[in-house]
Structure 1
Amino acid sequence: MTNNSKVLALKYRPQVFDDLIGQEIIVDTLKKSISFNKIPNAFLFTGIRGIGKTTIARVLAKSLNCSKGQNFSCNNDCCNNGVEISESRNIDVLEIDAASRTGVDDVRELIEFSRYGPTSSKYKIFIIDEVHMLSKQAFNALLKTLEEPPNYLKFIFATTEVNKIPITVLSRCQRFDLSRIKSQDMLQFLIKVSGKERILANTEVLKLISKISEGSVRDALSLLDRISLSRLDSNEKEFTLEDAQKIFGYFDKSILIDLIESIFNGDEKKSLDIYRNIYSQGVDPKVFLNNFIEIIYYIKNFENLRNIDSSINLNEDSINKLENLFKKVDPKTLIMFWQFSIEIMDEINIVFDQNLSVEMFLIRLLYLNGMIDEQTENRKPVNQPFSKDQTKDNKENIKNSIVNQLKSSTQKKKENKFEQDQNLNDLNINSFADLVEICTVKKEAELKYELENNVNLVSFKKGYIEISFNNNLKKEFVKTLSSKLYDWTKERWILTLSQKKGQDTLKKNRAIKKEMDFEKLKKSEIYDTIKKSFSDAELIDIKSEKNE
């Protein structure tokens, strides 16, 4: 493969430390480590995709094994070792993909290979990419060698998910957290590459690429590659921002400001027309929602942001619109819009047509805004749906109305049972079911989970609970439950751990009951009637009206 036929991400992959961008502190530390011969047994490079983890590992390997001694610029034309490492064929530098070699046998083979010293280099180096994918047994097999390797052996790990690596391994490595590439550094790099490749793209296009790449150099170069490929037959024409937006399925965020304005003005037709126009450009609903909540964020925090125009690529007119919305719209409204937007991100995953779900989401925002307006003393002009000069009483009414809208009937029933009396000392827990229910009311989600999934009730009396449990029960469960019971009832409770099997867990009981309900319903006349009318009908789930 010639150099010109390579994709840009490979063609411009850094070969020496000086080629790296955005990682100056880490590069400086590595150089000093080599210069003062303070080289750790194992290096760990972590960070998002495409910022140079594996690249730094290879550059470091070349610097450590350069035939000319300490050389931070060891490249393909420097020495034979540099050439072989760059081409992944050096016998002393073994690069392993942990995603395909995850087992303990692979690590044992590695350890066996490490017993022999380097052939033609100073160090034998193992580069393990995506190291977090090694199995638990593989990590354990590696521990001893990792802690006390021979002087000639060095490990270099790279991972995107450092939290999945056992702490025993992390403690034996010198860790380097690579940062996302800053927008300005990325832009300068793209300008340099586009100049070398003779890609006629203006600065606005390169800014857009820098933003979409989210700090990943590989992603940025892949996007630049996509632009260059689309104009191979007519390279003399410069790319415009509109051209790039069509290629990437991206859209101008200023349109979203108009959409949000129309929502606050209560104009349903205009709101849906704007969204349908965005969708017709091929914009994915999830991309739309991510950009939507980004604009909500900028409106809410406009006062605290600096250089906002450069950070979101909006023109002066759009910035003025953002400022106008910031002045007119109450922060509580924006926070409510944000919450609805986050909820819809989960909802669209279970809907077949995500586009329809987003349209209904926009309609809900319109009605939410209308509900807020109706709570004010006087109906406001459409361009000022929810201003900051509202009275304190009106704001409280609005807040209470929204909260009541969002509460489910199930939550209300539970609150009525335990919180009608404002004196918490009067709470009575007379059964195991009461105990689980009060955990819901008091928002003790973890405690409720343990009671439902890991606890088998043996006996329950006022002030005394006897239970057995499975291996998943947390050690601090008894202490936590005792403390909460005293806080709720102002009485000391005795909790006894029994050897008896006890009742099935609440979760298992519910599953058994649901299965029985399924069988009972399948034998009913109404089910037979439905099957006769719709032969392909299937019973998927059962919901009780009293729980809704």
Structure 2
Amino acid sequence: MAKKKSDSDVTAGGAEGSAPAKPYVVLARKYRPQTFDDLIGQETMVQTLRNAFASGRIAHGFMLTGVRGVGKTTTARILARALNYETDTISVPTIDMPGLGRHCLEIMESRHPDVIEMDAASNTGVDNIREIIESARYRPLSARTKVFIIDEVHMLSKGAFNALLKTLEEPPGHVKFIFATTEIRKVPVTVLSRCQRFDLRRVDVPRLAQHLKNIVANEGAAADDDALTLISRAAEGSVRDALSILDQAISTSFAPETGGDSTVTATAVRALLGLADRGRIFDLLETLAAGEIASALGALDGLHKDGAEAAQVLADLAEAVHITARVKAVGPDAAGEALALEEKRRAATLGDKLSMPLLARLWQMLLKGLDEAGKAPNPLAAAEMVLIRIAHTSDLPPPDEIIRALGGAPERRRNGAAPAEGTRAGAGATAEATGDAATARASRAQPASPDFDLDLLPEDDRDFEFPSDGSMMDEDGASDDGDGVAATLAGQGPSLRPLNTFADVVGLAGDRRDAKLKVMLEEQTSLVKFDGVAGTIDLYLLPAASPDVANDLREKLNKWTGRRWIVALSKTPGETPIGQVRREREAQEIAALKRHPAVAAVLNAFPDAEVSPVRRIARDRDDDSKAG
């Protein structure tokens, strides 16, 4: 690994009677790559540039993008060095740079007159770009190519970008532009289209950990593999972040009493970063899965006292749940190289105890809890409430078991009405097989009565009556068999409701619990034409109606009825909307009631009394006493 020599060559005054001591250079600068071979994790970009240089197809503009610390500025300097690489035997641009050329040292130290670096964060205006444009007119002083490196290019103003466009599109032959940015979406597409874009990738955890291991060996220090993995994971793919953390971890592990370095351990790294111990996180997850609230809260309090933030504990718990689910799904060997062996073992053990639905539930609750902890004035209290909820719900059965335990929908209704028919047919066949013809006929003739619990239905749906003939009657007196209504309530299977009028279509939308569509049909549409036999509906949309109501109605009618419908829009208004008709009818009924002598007497006695809309009561079709 090449080192930046100039940083270590600078000297400062030392103690009395001693030679000047070299100042310490942080690892992020000391191990900054000097050639393309030193870059890690960017093989695709390096191969593309290597082929371009070999074939002479070198672009005049390069756009380097990626997260912080992946090497954008360093790559720009190496690219400028490759463009101007020159030795006694090499006088053309080349990717292979075995040693320092005539301009290499000055370029890498940012002091070459023909390689101009500009920080767009502090030079955002048009005047700064005009200086670049003016300088681009002149040939380089000593190098082969004049290179302009603009870092954080997305910070340029709109005017600055516009001023740069013409020169960027047709620059002089001796000029190259290299841009670097972390916010590629803020760069205008007019600039992007004039450059070759290279996305520098995050370095994965195993590769970054190996890189840190090599640096630790070069520094004469020692570090556990788990500690390096933890640092690599905390760096989130950024090499500079990883080197900064490693630098601090080595300093933390220094033992002055022994006069030498000690080993960097995972415990020391967790304490340094304020991260919770992974083993303690798995212990906390097991405690939560067992429903032990007191132990879980005590573990959270202990982690918080040791320096772990409450939100970080929840994030670590979510990561532990993800690791457990991943190991349970694909096995420890395929769970990823970024996991330590102990993590894989704990995740496999925990995965054997927890079901996948429970892990999915824990994941969702922890994600919601993370959001709550971020907004709460006391994150620790929010985290405790999250753990309490998780512990209380850890032993809950799945929703379908809860419904069956409460007397809800049996298996046959959740699979549609067909099993019910099969059950009745099977009962008849069994009776016939035993030779009891009368019993067989009775089993076929007598429909099974609905066995779901009305308390589980919405309040508006509890007015269904169960006549003795097995049919079901709604509040308007329309009859349907039990399996048809059960299928309608479950939202499965074609509807058995006859669609003779547009009001029947609105009623079907209500049966299917599509309140939005029902309201739109009642209040925001005017019926122009309805033909239930041909399956055609013409509607006029009122000003407040959604333009998608026709397509929505057509698709849902096709699904609900099992036949093809055509819903067209008319430019001419038709009938009065159903909702308005209903309100006018109710107003007339209330007015008629108020004229009744008994009601009038009550209203006179109680001036503040009001007559509410009358709810129609379902009646038996064969009971003439309820007619009228």
* Shared fold (TM-score, shorter chain, > 0.5): yes
Counterpart of 2:157 in structure 1 is 135
Counterpart of 2:229 in structure 1 is 207
Q: Tell me, in whole angstroms, the C-alpha distance in 1 between the residues paired with 2:86 and 2:112.
A: 13
Equivalent residue letter for 1:225 = D
Q: Tell me, in whole angstroms, the C-alpha distance in 2 between the residues paired with 1:33 and 1:90.
A: 24
Counterpart of 1:263 in structure 2 is 288
- Quote how far apart the aligned CAs of 1:327 are: 3.5
- 2:380 is aligned, of 355, 358, 361, to 355
| 2:58 equivalent to 1:39 | yes
Equivalent residue letter for 1:94 = I
- Quote how far apart the aligned CAs of 1:192 are: 1.8
The one-character-per-residue Cα deviations of 1:177-215 (angstroms, maximum 9, x if unpaired) are 112223332222212211222222233322222222222
The one-character-per-residue Cα deviations of 1:236-281 (angstroms, maximum 9, x if unpaired) are 4323322222222223322222212211211101111112122122
Q: Tell me, in whole angstroms, the C-alpha distance in 2 between the residues paired with 1:222 and 1:26.
A: 25
Q: Tell me, in whole angstroms, the C-alpha distance in 1 between the residues paired with 2:266 and 2:164.
A: 51
Counterpart of 2:368 in structure 1 is 343
Equivalent residue letter for 1:160 = T
Higher relative contact order (CA 8 A, sep 6+): 1
| 2:192 equivalent to 1:102 | no
Map 1:503-518 to 2 at 5 A: none
Q: Tell me, in whole angstroms, the C-alpha distance in 2 between the residues paired with 1:392 and 1:117.
A: 85
Equivalent residue letter for 1:323 = A
Q: Tell me, in whole angstroms, the C-alpha distance in 1 between the residues paired with 2:549 and 2:163.
A: 40
Counterpart of 1:519 in structure 2 is none
- Quote how far apart the aligned CAs of 1:56 are: 0.8
SS at match of 1:282: coil
| 2:512 equivalent to 1:422 | yes
- 2:543 is aligned, of 465, 474, 478, to 465
- 1:16 is aligned, of 35, 43, 59, to 35
Asked whether the equivalents of residues 74 and 82 of structure 1 are also in contact (C-alpha less than 8 Å), the reply is no
User: Larger radius of gyration, structure 1 or 2?
Assistant: 2
More helix as a share of residues: 1
- Quote how far apart the aligned CAs of 1:113 are: 2.2
Q: Tell me, in whole angstroms, the C-alpha distance in 2 between the residues paired with 1:284 and 1:75.
A: 48
- Quote how far apart the aligned CAs of 1:312 are: 2.1
| 2:214 equivalent to 1:192 | yes
| 2:400 equivalent to 1:323 | no
SS at match of 2:123: coil
Counterpart of 1:29 in structure 2 is 48
Counterpart of 2:339 in structure 1 is 312
- Quote how far apart the aligned CAs of 1:485 are: 8.0
Asked whether the equivalents of residues 76 and 83 of structure 1 are also in contact (C-alpha less than 8 Å), the reply is no
| 2:139 equivalent to 1:117 | yes
Equivalent residue letter for 1:367 = H
Counterpart of 1:246 in structure 2 is 271
The one-character-per-residue Cα deviations of 1:142-165 (angstroms, maximum 9, x if unpaired) are 222222111111111112222222
The one-character-per-residue Cα deviations of 1:372-430 (angstroms, maximum 9, x if unpaired) are 489858xxxxxxxxxxxxx996xx9xxxxxxxxxxxxxxxxxxxx99643286972438
Q: Tell me, in whole angstroms, the C-alpha distance in 2 between the residues paired with 1:270 and 1:311.
A: 30
SS at match of 1:57: helix
Counterpart of 1:78 in structure 2 is 101
- Quote how far apart the aligned CAs of 1:481 are: 7.8
Between the aligned residues of both structures, percent identity stands at 36
Counterpart of 1:291 in structure 2 is 316
Q: Tell me, in whole angstroms, the C-alpha distance in 2 between the residues paired with 1:161 and 1:356.
A: 36
Q: Tell me, in whole angstroms, the C-alpha distance in 1 between the residues paired with 2:544 and 2:32.
A: 64
Counterpart of 1:61 in structure 2 is 80
Counterpart of 2:470 in structure 1 is none
Asked whether the equivalents of residues 254 and 314 of structure 1 are also in contact (C-alpha less than 8 Å), the reply is no
- 1:275 is aligned, of 300, 304, 312, to 300
Q: Tell me, in whole angstroms, the C-alpha distance in 2 between the residues paired with 1:46 and 1:392.
A: 57
Counterpart of 1:414 in structure 2 is none
Superposition RMSD on alpha carbons, in Å?
3.5
- Quote how far apart the aligned CAs of 1:12 are: 0.8
The one-character-per-residue Cα deviations of 1:114-168 (angstroms, maximum 9, x if unpaired) are 2222221221111111222222332222222222111111111112222222222
Q: Tell me, in whole angstroms, the C-alpha distance in 2 between the residues paired with 1:187 and 1:282.
A: 25
Q: Tell me, in whole angstroms, the C-alpha distance in 2 between the residues paired with 1:392 and 1:197.
A: 69
Asked whether the equivalents of residues 250 and 264 of structure 2 are also in contact (C-alpha less than 8 Å), the reply is no
Asked whether the equivalents of residues 266 and 370 of structure 1 are also in contact (C-alpha less than 8 Å), the reply is yes
TM-score by length of 2: 0.61
Counterpart of 1:333 in structure 2 is 358
Judging changes above 3 Å, is the alpha-carbon distance between structure 1 residues 92 and 485 closer, same or farther for their aligned structure 2 residues? farther
Judging changes above 3 Å, is the alpha-carbon distance between structure 1 residues 465 and 158 closer, same or farther for their aligned structure 2 residues? same
Q: Tell me, in whole angstroms, the C-alpha distance in 2 between the residues paired with 1:275 and 1:147.
A: 59
How many aligned positions are there? 424
